[in-house]
Amino acid sequence: MRSLLFVPADGGAKLDKAMASGADAIILDLEDSIAPERKEQARSATLEFLKRTTPRKNRPRILVRINGLDTGMTDADLDAIVAGNPDAVLFPKAEGGATVTHLDAKLTAREVIAGLPEGSIKILAQTVESAAGLFSAGTYRDSSARLIGMTWGPEDLSAELGAEANREADDTLTEPYRIARAMCLYGAAAAKVPAIETIHVDFRNADILRRDTELSRRDGFIGRLAIHPAQVPVINEVFTPSAAQIEKAKAIVAAFAAKPGAGTVGIDGKMYDRPHLVRAKALLERAKS
């Protein structure tokens, strides 16, 4: 998933616009964008939307961001939405692999009740949204077969820290949030799942979004959360391998195939080793998907 677009779960017409945005996935948000007094109404709207849209072919993936375990609202969210068979839930404020295992058990029980195959609904975890989440970022490996990726969130983290800002005047992250971002990236690598970059709040500035997203791709993220449909084309473009990248990757794979057992190969005067081969194969897999 290159682009994952947030939309309020009770967004009405916004939901259909999100489906047509070109995003690889849309995230129906039951958490931050829904006030407490509107939660129940939003749950009903989510189930209705899921039942109407999940059977469609050629649609984006549909995720639901539930409320975190510490809110006491997780069970009510799952009771309402599992019967709609979303592709995954976005799990906010996850604080270690044990919390994902806990959520897995909750999903399993409700899949049985709904008559769904066990493991149907996957989990994308927002793993570094708190200080505790940062220190537990390396504990997600083997926590659940449902886990399909990890992302992070500077907004909740900055509120916990009492920070005045999480970005510099030039729009780069301040030091505490660079650390949080890196921990998500390392944690995802340790868990052997994709890392998804967080949102960029300045949705009107496509140039800043592009520059920031290119840095994310460079560092190892394979997709990004979005808060506005206008961000989707930029994110999709940046995370789609270019023709030049594909040809280079094919050349690396071909060179190693021509020399079985070689530790390094030379292409156009440059040396490439086995880690380059791993990255080349991964890029070709992304291009294929």
Q: Quick one: tokens of 142? A: 């083997």
Structure tokens at 282: 């991964």
Which of 227, 81, 223, 240 minimizes the C-alpha distance to 150? Answer: 223
**Cβ(179)–Cβ(134) under 8 Å?**
yes
158 CB-side CA count, 13 A: 14
- Residue 219 has a pLDDT of 96
Q: What pLDDT, on the 0 to 100 scale, is given for residue 269?
A: 84
Check whether 210 has a pLDDT greater than 90.
yes
pLDDT at 279: 85
> Would you call 197 helix, strand, or coil by DSSP?
strand
* pLDDT surpasses 90 at 268: no
Say yes or no to pLDDT of 234 above 80. Answer: yes
Confidence check: pLDDT of 261 > 90: no
pLDDT beyond 90 at 74: yes
> pLDDT tens across 46-69, in order?
999 999 999 999 999 999 999 999
Question: What pTM did the predictor assign?
Answer: 0.91
- Cβ–Cβ < 8 Å for 5, 41: no
Given a contact cutoff of 8 angstroms between Cβ atoms, the answer to whether 144 and 101 are in contact is yes
pLDDT confidence tier of residue 262, bands split at 50, 70 and 90:
confident
pLDDT of 289 over the 80 cut: no
Q: What angle do CA 223, 192, 249 make, to 5 degrees?
A: 60
Tokens of residue 255, six digits: 């060179």
CA quadruple 39, 41, 44, 50: dihedral positive or negative? Answer: negative
Task: Provide the mean pLDDT of the chain.
Answer: 94
Q: Are 71 and 103 in contact (CB under 8 A)?
A: no
Mean predicted confidence (pLDDT) in 105-124: 97
Tokens for 203?
């949705």
pLDDT mean over 131-153 = 97
Distance between CA atoms of 244 and 184, rounded to whole angstroms? 29
Percent of the chain topping pLDDT 90: 81
pLDDT at residue 286, rounded to an integer = 82
Look up tokens 């309402």; give the residue. Answer: 80
Whether residue 10 has pLDDT greater than 80: yes
Whether 225 and 6 have beta carbons less than 8 Å apart is answered as yes
Q: Residue 150: exposed, middle, or buried by beta-carbon count in 10 A (0-12, 13-18, 19+)?
A: buried
pLDDT of residue 287: 84
How many degrees, rounded to 5, is the angle at CA 190 between CA 185 and CA 192? 90
Contacts of 80 (CB under 8 A, 6+ apart): 43, 44, 46, 47
Residue 206 has pLDDT above 90, yes or no: yes
Average pLDDT over residues 218-247: 94
d(CA 127, CA 145): 16
